[in-house]
Structure 1
């Protein structure tokens, strides 16, 4: 499971930074001896500097929270059984297990007249034992259980990585015999890559694989450009070539849907996708020569000509005629199209954020009878959709609080023109209830409950049963199951698991506020904490933000932050800046590229709002961000150091001048811009924290965290920033974990230790920051 993440990236493209100390090139060598020696020294310094009995105690408490035996076990339903991956103190790397429905619901809290029985779990795979056997720091990457044919529930494709990196392998596992099936015995294997392996037929005699197939098979971001269908016992070089993305594309893939249809996709870029339906009788090119020719753009007797865009798909593949920027969803008989840009079809215009529905067979035949299933409003947007056998369930955000809507298509034989039916699902009883001090003028829709809900189908091919989960900032997660009636109403919903509280939330109040950004836009944020005490003081403030890639930050129970921050008396703030998806495509897209400044202005406005409201004071608030959120916090650090008491940056993207030459960086050009285009660099340079540090200026204390095994955001971003800050005489702490990948941790003890350090660091530098209201 070795992967090529250790090579040094290209020569630095530094320009215009003569006043700044230049970090040594050896910091780019991920596992180079000199770099790892420097990393080890910084890590030892960090833990020695922050060591204390309080930190040790907090680490133990957080480990207990994360490994609590009565926490809610995540489950999925496959082939009549419930599967779960579980970690605890005895199994830090985790066990994969399954249970019958009867055994699982025996532990449900909804029957007061029956004794709750512990679930009887059947152990399938012990990762701790396997890691010892293989002598590798294995991290779980998921499993795909075969659900059809004679081997249903007996075979699975298990994905594992070394240390939590994105690069992983997938191997076939025999669930009955509890063993991996070697290739020599006919088992399936995907070699190390950032690809995937899924089942390719009903009997489990074929798989669809996207992987590193050799020279030219990976995009510049490191993702596969080709997907193949491999039959059992065959060599991958002899597999059928299903799809090959054009040179310069981001990725290609293929998947078999729950109803047995095969779909091909190519991604020209991060926010563009082309889709084809592969008919069962389509003839696919086969063999290594055809595969290499498709990748190199050469001709081959069995290869069809490329599409006008340069993709190669089998003759007879049916292009799904939807906008490349849209997101298509497939049900048994229906197609949904979620728009990210305006679309005009058959003389009708549809706005971004709209969800359209159409009969799949009719649509593929050329008919464009589209029905609007969801139309966005200034406050609402669609976040996800899931199909049951007969219904489509939407999760919507309304001013960043969730609700569910059930859409039911017309039944076969309905009169011409019959429309879809719609039903709301009322789950407000699971939410944080309004309360606390009287609303102030900054509050957004005061008095309404705040919660996040999600829904997923138990079996989209066979039933209308639905998983429903809900939680709030102070309300632990609840998992329920219910059935949708023919009319789309949720009935018989029963709670099957309810997580207990993990921290003392007595007196903690949840409110939602708006700040006014520099351009007048109202930016929402959540505030979670106790009201001011008798002396008028509040606890220290920790602000979390992300602001990129359309990711929404929504209410949800966070037991680690609750234990480490809220229980102690701190106030936690979550900022919903532009760049996220809280208000649909426009909220995200306005902050792309040159609009990046809006994200920083939004976060600045949130902190200034907290200061104006007396929640904190300038120069003492702690701000935390991960990945693209680390970029945002880095931008705030270099632009407005006077606002901050501390900055915490996890797995951060910081060097925009070079990011496209570091691991997966090329994939993010549509989001952040191309620094090799000097016209774009003219505005990008204003958002590169590494470039914007200034000698002689004082910055607040900085905690930088990364992982040697992160093959998504190169650790050089954090390493070089830490090195430069230190050379400028700033207070900087750098911790790079040996494993954990982009998340930074592979086990609960590792996560607990890192989280304890983050919160202790933030508390130290934000203590005493609150003033009276």
Structure 2
């Protein structure tokens, strides 16, 4: 499963005089980092530094910043920070309320109040909401921004923590809901459960009221790997689980399986990125990949039927080819359609591909903003719940950020978008235009 790693370690060092820095939480390494930070602050501190820091703080704490959202069921969830709430507020509202100038938010958790009550330096690291009933969530709370987190189950009806729920002491790792009473647990908690890097070495099936330390592992890797993880996939005809081993930070070995563990390894390059929806597999090679008699260049986007791939088929169809001035930025599934973002001469372009019986249908999303900085993502947080609606955040040097809602399934065009939010203008941009130019350097 794991190739022999010849890189030096603290137990088997080479002649590197700075190998002690690999012990990132060691006393000597932390003291050295603190010393370097002190030197930097001493060198750059002063009136201008403080002025710049205050200006940046005011920008990040501006109450007019767009409250970005993710939809789960009937609610839109947001995590908000400002000067009065530096740790943040976890809150939710409805779409109708969100579109108002001053939305009425339901406060779920005030992290500043919780930190004060607990006497802890809590930093928000996210929440995993149970996808069936949406009555419970497992919150990830980090002490001071550490990679290790405390997991605490939270009741979204009573807005209180569940005393005897899915709670874990501090450790590096993640949880993923399978049903209201079962989690996939990828955690370094427990004797022998951490890799050499301090991350999760096993994936365990954790039932409610069971002891996580004695919960059986259904997937594991060697101590020399970076970490493992597992997550559920609800886009198929039945539940399937994905198990991921990362031998190194930019490498992944993937298996498809079920609640008993992995069943089949997915024969993809370790450094490729991929996404699955239903019976379709989309792959983006990081390096040129020769498969099925064809060499696909790095950063191409290729697709194949997952069932065909598992049966040995390797006839991929190419949806995107990179070029000298064309580069793929991102791709994601929404309602069974593949949305891609790419740049042409640094200008954002968007396309949607729909699988058919014989071939894929390509649709250029030319009504989305095509200048400035444009980000597109699914409105729904869970990919299996996507219905064609996407959020678009767009801005350029003279246009303040705005958040738009597009329905990719709308016919005949995408011209009927809804502006959900728009930041106020900070200066008069009338008479100004944005143009793009090229220059040739002397070399």
| Range class of TM-score, shorter chain | 0.7 to 0.9
Q: Distance in 2 between matches of 1:71 and 1:243?
A: 43
Whether the aligned pair in 2 keeps the contact of 1:158 and 1:172 (CA below 8 Å) is yes
Partner of 2:131: 147
Residues 138 and 16 from structure 1, CA distance in 2 versus in 1: closer, same or farther, beyond 3 angstroms?
closer
Deviation of 1:493 (Å) = 1.6
The 3-state SS of whatever aligns with 1:406 is strand
Q: Distance in 2 between matches of 1:16 and 1:77?
A: 50
Whether the aligned pair in 2 keeps the contact of 1:242 and 1:264 (CA below 8 Å) is no
Q: Distance in 2 between matches of 1:223 and 1:274?
A: 16
Q: Distance in 2 between matches of 1:350 and 1:92?
A: 47
Residues 347 and 61 from structure 1, CA distance in 2 versus in 1: closer, same or farther, beyond 3 angstroms?
closer
Residues 486 and 85 from structure 1, CA distance in 2 versus in 1: closer, same or farther, beyond 3 angstroms?
closer
Q: Which has the larger radius of gyration?
A: 1
Q: Which stretch shifts more, 222-231 or 396-405?
A: 396-405
Matched, 1:342 2:288: yes
Q: 1:135 aligns with which of 119, 126, 137?
A: 119
Whether the aligned pair in 2 keeps the contact of 1:208 and 1:227 (CA below 8 Å) is yes
Matched, 1:195 2:173: yes
Q: Distance in 2 between matches of 1:466 and 1:37?
A: 43
Q: Which stretch shifts more, 205-214 or 130-139?
A: 205-214
The 3-state SS of whatever aligns with 2:116 is helix
Residues 401 and 220 from structure 1, CA distance in 2 versus in 1: closer, same or farther, beyond 3 angstroms?
farther
The 3-state SS of whatever aligns with 1:165 is coil
The 3-state SS of whatever aligns with 2:307 is helix
Partner of 1:499: 423
The 3-state SS of whatever aligns with 1:128 is helix
Matched, 1:475 2:399: yes
Unaligned runs of 5+ in 1: 1-8, 18-22, 108-117, 285-312, 432-449, 521-773
The 3-state SS of whatever aligns with 1:269 is coil
Residues 422 and 489 from structure 1, CA distance in 2 versus in 1: closer, same or farther, beyond 3 angstroms?
farther
Bigger relative contact order, structure 1 or 2 (CA pairs below 8 A, ≥6 apart): 1
Q: 1:253 aligns with which of 207, 211, 229?
A: 229
Deviation of 1:420 (Å) = 0.5
Matched, 1:68 2:71: no
- Residues 156-167 of structure 1 mapped to structure 2, 5 A cutoff: 156-167=137-148
Whether the aligned pair in 1 keeps the contact of 2:329 and 2:343 (CA below 8 Å) is yes
Q: Distance in 1 between matches of 2:227 and 2:353?
A: 32
Matched, 1:385 2:318: no
Q: Distance in 2 between matches of 1:515 and 1:220?
A: 48
Q: Distance in 2 between matches of 1:378 and 1:42?
A: 42
Q: Distance in 1 between matches of 2:441 and 2:51?
A: 40
Residues 214 and 353 from structure 1, CA distance in 2 versus in 1: closer, same or farther, beyond 3 angstroms?
same
Partner of 2:5: none
Partner of 2:109: 125
Q: Which stretch shifts more, 90-99 or 360-369?
A: 360-369
The 3-state SS of whatever aligns with 1:132 is helix
- Residues 268-667 of structure 1 mapped to structure 2, 5 A cutoff: 268-279=247-258, 283-284=260-261, 313=262, 317-410=263-356, 414=357, 418-426=358-366, 429=369, 431=371, 450-458=372-380, 460-462=383-385, 463-485=387-409, 490=414, 492-502=416-426, 511=436, 513=438
Q: Distance in 2 between matches of 1:486 and 1:495?
A: 16
Give deviations 1:165-205, integer Å, cap 9, x for gaps: 222222111111111112xx2x112332331112123xx21
Deviation of 1:267 (Å) = 1.4
Whether the aligned pair in 1 keeps the contact of 2:274 and 2:281 (CA below 8 Å) is yes
Partner of 1:94: 88
The 3-state SS of whatever aligns with 1:468 is strand
Matched, 1:29 2:13: no
Q: Distance in 1 between matches of 2:188 and 2:412?
A: 44
Give deviations 1:84-136, integer Å, cap 9, x for gaps: 000122211110000011111234xxxxxxxxxx1110000001001101112
Partner of 1:634: none
Deviation of 1:263 (Å) = 0.5
Give deviations 1:538-564, integer Å, cap 9, x for gaps: xxxxxxxxxxxxxxxxxxxxxxxxxxx
Give deviations 1:605-661, integer Å, cap 9, x for gaps: xxxxxxxxxxxxxxxxxxxxxxxxxxxxxxxxxxxxxxxxxxxxxxxxxxxxxxxxx
Residues 15 and 430 from structure 1, CA distance in 2 versus in 1: closer, same or farther, beyond 3 angstroms?
closer
Q: Distance in 2 between matches of 1:469 and 1:16?
A: 47
Unaligned runs of 5+ in 2: 1-9
Matched, 1:211 2:187: yes
The 3-state SS of whatever aligns with 1:129 is helix
Partner of 2:214: 238
Q: Distance in 1 between matches of 2:154 and 2:435?
A: 46
**TM-score calculated relative to the size of structure 2:** 0.84
The structure with more strand, counted as a fraction of residues: 2
Matched, 1:229 2:212: no
Residues 15 and 193 from structure 1, CA distance in 2 versus in 1: closer, same or farther, beyond 3 angstroms?
closer
Q: Distance in 1 between matches of 2:119 and 2:360?
A: 55
Residues 493 and 250 from structure 1, CA distance in 2 versus in 1: closer, same or farther, beyond 3 angstroms?
same
| Equivalences, count | 424
Residues 457 and 360 from structure 1, CA distance in 2 versus in 1: closer, same or farther, beyond 3 angstroms?
farther
Residues 28 and 359 from structure 1, CA distance in 2 versus in 1: closer, same or farther, beyond 3 angstroms?
closer
The structure with more helix, counted as a fraction of residues: 1
